Chain A
């Protein structure tokens, strides 16, 4: 951004200023620059230490609250004996596929409804109803219909991801600046050109916000699917651990589910930073 700053706000050339000696920029010590990161790390360490030391000190047995070292030991046992990697991969895979398919479907239908006011008006009461309905409660139905396999989990995940993305995209399609569309019409652009050149890019912030929500919901969807039925996935390990009163196993499964959520969310944030690069940081 050095070139733009060389001219005044109106683009009038300013007389070139002599390259005078720059006032020395005070160097900020490394511990100040990374104060926030260091603070977060310190908090994390303190939290883990408290978790490790406090329950035993208060006499809480490890089958109620396992310590951090208990969790690590149990994770090793689960990896060796309970096919932890397999369950983790299954949840990760179904969660990701469900998230991707749910996002694509939600966005596609959001755009179609956004293009067709009539269709949107006809369907909106039903969409609202479905949006309010607790989607995870459908899980047992899908199991009864499709059996104990990957499909019910996948469909529940798709369903929970689908709606927030559809709603966000539809809402943004309805609020695109009319003057912007009129400008495109005045330039003799076709409906499809207006869609691709204005409506789709204008909906990107809303789509990205929907994807962020969807990423967290995907984990909930796949977990509920696994809790309700089947013998695969971290959700299954939770019910299995519960049956054995193995709290460490339940804790570990929850931690791994959270990690899957963080990965999905991180991917969305990564894509968003690239797609919405034109939005100044202070506003974003």
Chain B
């Protein structure tokens, strides 16, 4: 069970961008308040363009909030910081590096010796069951393996929290299910605090402890669902639970999916 220590807090966070016309402002997210406790797995769902990736950019310190505060492990986020690991739909592996040296990449801005880096990278690859491919180049791996390598790189920095922005959405349906399970196992066994941004409502229900639902832009949190299911480390097992369908139905209702026309 997740303990109660808060790892991440967003307090009334608003982010505005300059609109495409260059003059007016576009509010991406408005008054977002959320918190993630240690060891918790929180999913964030919402319509396209509601500001999910914006939240990720703010938490990772790549961008600054217009209003509100973001607190990570008790300290305000003022810029990129080593306790956040993030992963996108694109694996962002450097094509000119081998897998092991890609995993080392995140450690290179730290005062570690080359030997220590290599050791940690290999350990991480082992955990993600990619140790046989340490010396392969990214093009020699399948899409699913590349995402696992990206997860290994993300975990190698030993982040306090991992932000996943639609990490499975570029994969085919079967690879996706296998990878969800693989990620869920790794995350559960290490007790990693995770935020998963996703479009896939079933993925949200089968992988997380809690689901936050966002509104259309400007994005706000409009619902919170506690996922009360066993087997968080095995999304495939959860899929058979009747309750999952209830959660998905509730998400569809909250997002008004059935009233929408393309």
Interfacial residues, chain A to chain B (CB-CB below 8 A): 1, 3-4, 6-7, 9-12, 177, 179-180, 182-190, 193, 197-198, 201, 204, 278-280
Closest to B141 in A: A4
Residues of B within 8 Å of A1, CB to CB, are: 140
Q: Give Cα distance in the complex from A1 to B140, angstroms.
A: 9
Residues of B within 8 Å of A189, CB to CB, are: 108-109
Residues of A within 8 Å of B179, CB to CB, are: 10
Contact B62 A188 (CB under 8 A): no
Contact B80 A11 (CB under 8 A): no
Closest to B163 in A: A186
Q: Give Cα distance in the complex from A9 to B209, angstroms.
A: 30
The listed residue (B94, B139, B175) touching A9 by CB distance below 8 A is B175
With an 8 A cutoff between CB atoms, is B66 at the interface? no
Contact A193 B94 (CB under 8 A): no
Contact A198 B133 (CB under 8 A): no
Contact B90 A11 (CB under 8 A): no
Q: When A9-B175, A10-B144, A11-B145 are in contact, do A187 and B109 touch as well, CB less than 8 Å?
A: yes
Indicate with 1 or 0, residue by residue over B130-164, a CB within 8 angstroms of chain A CB atoms: 10110011011110110010000000010000000
With an 8 A cutoff between CB atoms, is B60 at the interface? yes
Query: Of B20-28, B81-89, B187-195, which stretch is located at the interface?
Result: B81-89
Q: When A180-B92, A278-B95, A278-B96 are in contact, do A186 and B86 touch as well, CB less than 8 Å?
A: yes
Interface size on B, residues (CB 8 A): 39
The listed residue (A4, A177, A182, A187) touching B108 by CB distance below 8 A is A187
Q: Give Cα distance in the complex from A261 to B96, angstroms.
A: 29
B57 to chain A, nearest CB (A): 8
With an 8 A cutoff between CB atoms, is B245 at the interface? no
Q: List 28 A-B contacts (CB under 8 A).
A: A1-B140, A3-B133, A9-B142, A10-B142, A10-B175, A10-B178, A10-B182, A11-B132, A11-B148, A177-B90, A177-B92, A179-B90, A180-B92, A180-B94, A182-B57, A182-B62, A183-B92, A184-B105, A186-B60, A186-B61, A187-B157, A189-B108, A190-B109, A197-B94, A197-B108, A198-B94, A204-B96, A279-B95
A263 to chain B, nearest CB (A): 27
Residues of A within 8 Å of B94, CB to CB, are: 180, 197-198, 201
Q: Give Cα distance in the complex from A204 to B92, angstroms.
A: 17
5 pairs of A and B residues whose beta carbons are closest in the complex: A9-B142, A188-B109, A187-B106, A189-B109, A201-B96
For residues 105 through 142 of chain B, which have their beta carbon under 8 Å from a beta carbon of chain A? 105-106, 108-110, 129-130, 132-133, 136-137, 139-142
Contact B92 A4 (CB under 8 A): no
Q: Give Cα distance in the complex from A193 to B130, angstroms.
A: 27
Residues of A within 8 Å of B136, CB to CB, are: 4
Closest to A276 in B: B96
Contact A179 B142 (CB under 8 A): no
Residues of A within 8 Å of B96, CB to CB, are: 201, 204, 278
Contact B133 A4 (CB under 8 A): yes
Q: Give Cα distance in the complex from A278 to B141, angstroms.
A: 12
A203 to chain B, nearest CB (A): 11
Contact A197 B142 (CB under 8 A): no
Contact B80 A188 (CB under 8 A): yes
Q: Give Cα distance in the complex from A274 to B107, angstroms.
A: 27
